[in-house]
Amino acid sequence: MFKDIKYNEMSKEMISQLEKGAFLTVKGDDEINTMTIAWGTIGFIWVKPIFMVAVRYSRYTYELIEKSNEFTVSFPLSRDMSKELAICGTKSKREIDKFKECNLTPEKGKVVDTPIIGECDLHYECKIVYKQAMEPGMIDRDIKDFKYSDNDFHVLYYGEIVASYIKE
């Protein structure tokens, strides 16, 4: 059973867990994939609640999200999923089926076609309203040297939060 919440109602818990990892799930055509994210922002832009996620060009998720106009983000709050988050953050769907390997259950969302992760408590369903490739020349030199020495930059996806809810 899920309870609808305001998009920012659990923001403190969400940001605290984001630092440890969350599951970004995408669906492209008939294929789904999830990956671990530890970067993202939640806010209010264009008179809409927005969740921004960053996906590197090298990720398989990038291929799928480019075919889609939506994504979900699922947060484990009440159980330790560090093992699953580690696998989904270091392995590619090109190598393994992460849902099978981690015993993750894709569950139907409320609004979007992309599933949520059933083992998680807090969920955001988002429709992409804007995407922006990072401009390498605009990144702080220290950040660029530290996080992008391989020139594998991110695309920023701004998703309007169309549903936010927590497992009761």
Tens of pLDDT, residues 44-62: 999 999 999 999 888 888 8
Predicted local confidence at residue 60, as pLDDT: 80
CATH of 2-167, one of 3.30.70.1070, 3.30.70.3000, 2.30.110.10, 3.40.50.261: 2.30.110.10
Domain definitions of the chain by residue range: 2-167
Nearest to 98 by CA among 107, 108, 88, 89: 88
Predicted local confidence at residue 54, as pLDDT: 93
Decide if pLDDT at 29 tops 90.
no
Q: What's the predicted TM-score (pTM) here?
A: 0.93
Alpha helices in the chain (DSSP H): 11-18, 60-65, 82-90, 98-102, 141-147
Give the model confidence (pLDDT) of 91-106 as tens digits: 778 877 899 989 999 9
Predicted local confidence at residue 151, as pLDDT: 84
